[in-house]
Structure 1
Amino acid sequence: MATPVTAATARVDWVDTAKGLCIIMVVLLHSTFGVEQAVGREGFMHVVVAFAKPFRMPDFFLISGLFLARVIDRDWRLYADRKVVHFAYFYLLWMTIQLVVKAPVLAAEHGWAGVPGQWALALVEPFGTLWFIYLLPIFFVVTKLARQLRIPPLAVWLVAAALETAPIHTGWTVPDEFAARFVYFYTGFLLAPRVFALAEAAAARPWLAAGGLAVWALVNGTLVFAGLSEWPIVSLALGFAGAGAIIVLATLLVRSRLFDPIRYCGEHSIVVYLAFFLPMAATRIVLLKTGVVASVGLMSLIVTAAGILGALAIWWAVRGTRLDFLFTRPDRAHIAARKAPAGARLQPAE
């Protein structure tokens, strides 16, 4: 079975479905921890979040590197526009929005005079949930520099793997997450043909793929709940195994139209990633104040759904309006000529 591609957009369906699974897991993480912290106890979704921890972000970063080979040899100006300025624009915009929303809380901690300082601090220490799009441009630049300097790819990969295995905990998000995640991004770039071959093999042998997923789930769950998943080497192996499992699962899910909503979330993953915090927090506050939901786990699920659907609703509401700049980078925020006309869809985080 060939890799499904949507005719209108030439997007690879299993890639979008995998990204959809990843963004759902990210929102679920923040929703679950937010609810549990507010009520002071854990719910049944805590188990799901713990199970997904070894592979949630490794898969996201691996997929983000898959299509880099197509553009890495562009001149620096065009490359920087697509892979650095693009994410910097959305980071600065949504970091400011998040800071404004959280200003009363920050003022209570630091005083109103300290709020601008928190904005300045966010230029070097990623703010809130936005660290992923802060780190992606760094990965893009480092990968291109390594290629231009003709550093052997195997040497780059071995250093990246060593950094993940170390592990490194400085307390500063940028070096810590770079060390923990770059190996997955670089692997996506380096081994993209093999990743696509894995998806093709899973599509051709769905029952064998499903059996492999069952074995993986058993091993991953055993190591997680035995407290071994964060051990050196084990964490690296689980990260790659989980990333492969999500790719295989996504390939199987695209066989049915029932899972199109997941693909749609992945196609617009950056929209969800940027905006989910607002409907997520609002829904959590309403549920906690009204007490209409007693189950912590169920509350986490409701907050997760509200975060995802709310983010998409915000995007749908502003499309074609003066607020379109919230999700579509305007011409003035480009440093190179655009490859699509004004009003084109948001460039995906790929």
Structure 2
Amino acid sequence: MNNKQLWINHIKGLCICLVVIYHSVITFYPHLVQSQTGLPEYIAKSWIYLNLYLAPFRMPVFFFISGFLITRYIDVVKWRDCIDKRLWNIFYVLLLWGVLQWLGITLINEWLAPELVRNPTSNAAYSENLLQFATSMAKASTSLWYLYALVLYFLVFKSLRQYKVPVIVMLLALNVVISFMPLPWWGMNSVVRNMCYYGLGAWFGPQLMNAMKAFSPRQRPLFCVAAALVSTALYLVNVPLVISVLSIFVIMKLFYLLDNWRESRPDAFLNIVGTNTIAIYTTHRIVIEALSLFTLAQIHAGHLSDNLVLAILLVYPFFSLAICTLLGLGFRKLSRVLCGDMFFSPPKKRVMATDAG
């Protein structure tokens, strides 16, 4: 990615950081609310609520950028040339890491929290047998549902690219409907809800990007205030669509302005993370499960002082983010050095690349 587009990669980096923080919070703080009182309880609840309020600013922009970056594949590249990179490669990683997460998280739970009761149908990683695992994966009830969505979205939007306006209108309406009548499976619910954002990027990304660059908040302050008030009001009545679309626009505008003020660097933290989103996304859930169960066990056993527990509660999501990022990047490097990146690229693709060289 050239320097003129590094700011887009930085947004991807921010998004994967928010995803890691989200999982860090939901696997840790809810288990402490009942056992903590006073300030520790208040901190735990604050992280839980903050996590909820960050929802409109996390996945929508992630999917918009994901759609925007494959616009050429949608409009120009022929189907047969899309099978490998846009479909098989992602499906391979989804299936491989679905199994690895299932095995890894099952072992971690048996080791660190054998007494903890999990709902085996709530997540493919908690499945008790192969049938449950396959069923959960088919319903997108997996921590890897983002990869599931990328495969499905590409098929949908490349197939229906001649009907852009009616389809995107229908998906925007579906986003609102699903807020009040959600699907029974949380993973598929997320896949359907976020489809419109990917579509906006894949079908209308270049136009929206140009509009964002040309827009000046100083010239339209009343419009900006009105948009903020309306989107917030709708969000409070459980219609997050408008604030999510607005957040896409605002986040892109901020990163674009920062890039104009100080050009994005290839060695910047967010660029490194944004370049390795798949590695961090696939590995972080296993790391988080181990880290949260170990830390919870230490707290519940009384092995930590009150001051140390308070400090952990304050910074745990950031500590977890740092560990997940380092281990994800490290494992990606090992994968490349030891086995030709087999954990993130199909073996057949590696053989073909070797033969071509």
Q: Report TM bin, short chain.
A: 0.7 to 0.9
* Counterpart position of 1:347: none
Task: Report the equivalent of 1:52.
Answer: 54
Which of the residues 167, 184, 206 maps onto 1:171?
184
Q: Which of 13, 17, 23 is 2:10 aligned to?
A: 17
2:92 is aligned to: 89
Query: SS of 2:198's equivalent?
Result: helix
> Where in structure 2 are the equivalents of 1:181-200 lying within 5 Å?
181-198=194-211, 200=213
Trace 1:45-124 onto structure 2 (pairs within 5 A): 45-72=47-74, 73-104=76-107, 105=109, 114-124=128-138
**In the alignment, which residue of structure 1 is the partner of 2:235?**
229
Residue identity (%): 23
The 1-side partners of 2:356 and 2:273 are apart by 20
Aligned-partner residue type, residue 165 of structure 2 = L
Of 303, 312, 317, which residue of structure 1 is paired with 2:334?
317
Q: Please give the secondary structure, in 2, of the residue aligned with 1:71.
A: helix
Three-state SS of the structure 2 residue aligned to 1:102 is: helix
Structure 2 counterpart of 1:306: 323
Letter in structure 1 aligned against 2:62 = F
In 1, distance between residues paired with 2:257 and 2:50?
A: 21
State the alpha-carbon separation in 1 of the partners of residues 100 and 52 from structure 2.
30
The answer (yes or no) to whether the contact 1:103–1:115 under 8 Å persists in 2 is no
Higher helix share: 2
Q: Which of 1, 5, 8 is equivalent to 2:2?
A: 5
Structure whose CA Rg is larger? 2
CA distance in structure 2 between the aligned counterparts of 1:197 and 1:99, rounded to whole angstroms: 43
Question: 2:286 matched to 1:245?
Answer: no
Secondary structure (helix, strand or coil) at the match of 1:326 reads: coil
Per-residue CA distance 1:267-292 (angstroms, 9 max, x = gap): 21111111111222333334332534
Q: Which moved more, 1:237-246 or 1:74-83?
A: 74-83
In structure 2, C-alpha distance between the alignment counterparts of 1:67 and 1:103, rounded to whole Å: 35
Structure 1 residue 341 displacement after superposition = 5.7
Q: Does residue 258 of structure 2 align to residue 265 of structure 1?
A: no
Deviation at 1:67, TM superposition (A): 2.8
Task: Give yes or no for contact 2:30–2:48 (8 Å, CA) kept in 1.
Answer: no
1:132 is displaced (CA, Å) by 0.7
Q: Deviations over 1:232-284 (max 9, x none)?
A: 6x411111001111212222344266892012211211111111112223333
Contact 2:141–2:187, Cα closer than 8 Å, also in 1? no
Q: Which of 283, 290, 295 is 1:282 aligned to?
A: 290
The TM-score with structure 2 as length reference comes to 0.77
Which runs of no fewer than 5 residues in structure 1 stay unpaired? 345-350
Number of aligned positions between the proteins? 319
Q: 1:196 to 1:5 in 2, by over 3 A?
A: farther
- Quick one: which amino acid aligns to residue 148 of structure 2? Y
- Whole-angstrom CA distance in 2 between matches of 1:68 and 1:308: 25
Range 306-315 or range 57-66, more displaced: 306-315
Deviation at 1:199, TM superposition (A): 5.3
Q: Deviations over 1:48-89 (max 9, x none)?
A: 423321131111111111033311243322222222212110
User: Compared with structure 1, are the counterparts of its residues 333 and 180 closer, same or farther at alpha carbon in structure 2 (3 Å cutoff)?
Assistant: farther
Asked whether the 8 Å contact 1:13–1:263 carries over to 2, the reply is yes
2:252 aligned partner, one-letter code: I
In the alignment, the residues of structure 1 paired with residue 314 and residue 225 of structure 2 have an alpha-carbon distance, to the nearest angstrom, of 26
CA change 1:194–1:271 in 2 (3 A) is same
| Separation in 1, partners of 2:49, 2:191 | 26
Structure 1 moving runs of 4+ over 3 Å:
43-48, 104-110, 198-202, 214-220, 256-259, 285-288, 290-293, 340-344
